[in-house]
Amino acid sequence: MAADHENSNAPRHLYGPRGLAALVTPLVRPAFKRRAPATAQVVADWDAIVGPAIAAVTVPKKLFTGTLVIGCSGPVAMELQHLAPQLMGRINTHLGKVAVTRLRFVQDAPMAPVPRRAPPPQAIAAAQRAVADLPPGPLRDALESLGRVVLGQKRS
């Protein structure tokens, strides 16, 4: 037993069990570098949270100290003011906590849909290498897909 404590600084075995956090953290760190996790989740799931009609004319900008800033065109802001309690309820329910207590609308030009481009071959290969030691299954597939997207984004 004492020998185990003496070798606590020994390198881990490559094919030994690893926690999920050890695999996910390096993949998602670039995505969360500029945004808090709650903001990133709201941005990523905006269509599912507010529905396609509202998502088509709005874009969440940032979430800070309970205020969610939403970009929209002028006429839409008035309608959204009336829907604010329902929107905040949907957002907080989706996040599983009361993170949004106020909505702030800013005038923003309507956004055209951004076409998704395929990740570069280097990102695909890196994502496959990152999950190579995991057993086949839905978790491995999901982590590989996440890795392709995150590693395929342009670095600034």
Asked if residue 151 lies in contact with residue 123, where contact means CB atoms within 8 angstroms, the answer is: yes
Own/partner long-range contacts of 21-25 (Cβ < 8 Å, ≥24 apart): 23/130, 23/131, 23/134, 23/143, 24/143, 24/146
Strand partners, 71: 59, 106
Asked if residue 130 lies in contact with residue 29, where contact means CB atoms within 8 angstroms, the answer is: no
Q: Of the ranges 4-8, 59-63, 77-81, which one carries the lowest mean pLDDT score? A: 4-8
Q: Which residue shows structure tokens 């939403």?
A: 70
CA–CA separation, 122 and 148 (whole Å) = 9
pLDDT tens digits, one per residue of 76-127: 888 888 889 999 999 888 888 888 899 998 887 655 555 667 788 898 899 8
Q: Which domains does the chain have, with CATH numbers?
A: 37-107 (3.30.300), 116-156 (no CATH)
- Which amino acid, 136? P
What is the pLDDT, as a whole number, of residue 156? 42
Between residues 47 and 19, the one the model is more confident about: 47
- Which amino acid, 16? G
